[in-house]
Amino acid sequence: MFSVIQMKFVSILVFSIFILSCGKGPSLSKEEVRNLSQNYIKELCKKNLECSAQYLESLPSGEQNAARSGFSSLEQCMAEQSNQSILPDDYEKVTDQQIGKVKRCMDDLLKTPCSEMEQAGGIPSCRELFPDGN
């Protein structure tokens, strides 16, 4: 049989494991969360450039140069978005559900043609990331 001291020790151990598991954040590491957020911004910038190039090609040649000045490079887009994060800055507030939504959005972003995005007003799974319309 367990002594009272052993029972208290086991209780404290179980309670400590429970407390530690509750406040640890998502199943991804901090670095993986940061990389996911950065990769989202990069893929969004790439898609923006892809769609911009297609738009430019659709314009008459005389209008292409004027329109081209309004578009940025991948590096410029990334720099403009450097202070943006698709996931909460506080790692402990990031949820696996949010991570799943970002991954689904990125998958859809890579698969969806620009013309389809334009007709649909964007990508539905990506709009879910901004429920308040931001």
Q: Domain for residue 18, yes or no? A: no
Q: 40: domain range?
A: 30-85+95-112
Q: What is the pLDDT of residue 22?
A: 52
Is the confidence at residue 42, as pLDDT, over 60?
yes
Query: What pLDDT is stored for residue 133 in this prediction?
Result: 52
Residue 49 and residue 74 in contact, taking contact as beta carbons nearer than 8 Å: yes
**Residue burial 109-126, b: 16+ Cβ < 10 Å; e: rest:** beebeeeebeeeeebebb
Average pLDDT over residues 30-36: 90
In a domain, 121, yes or no: no
At 132 the pLDDT is 61
pLDDT confidence of residue 56: 85
- Top-confidence residue, 97 or 7: 97
Give the range among 21-25, 69-73, 75-79, 91-95 with minimum mean pLDDT. Answer: 21-25
pTM across the whole model:
0.71
Q: Is residue 67 part of a domain?
A: yes
Number of domains in the chain: 1
Please report whether residue 51 resides in a domain. Answer: yes
pLDDT of residue 76: 87
Asked whether residue 3 is assigned to any structural domain, the reply reads: no
Residue 125 lies in a domain: no
Residue 23 lies in a domain: no
In a domain, 50, yes or no: yes
57/47 Cα distance (integer angstroms): 15
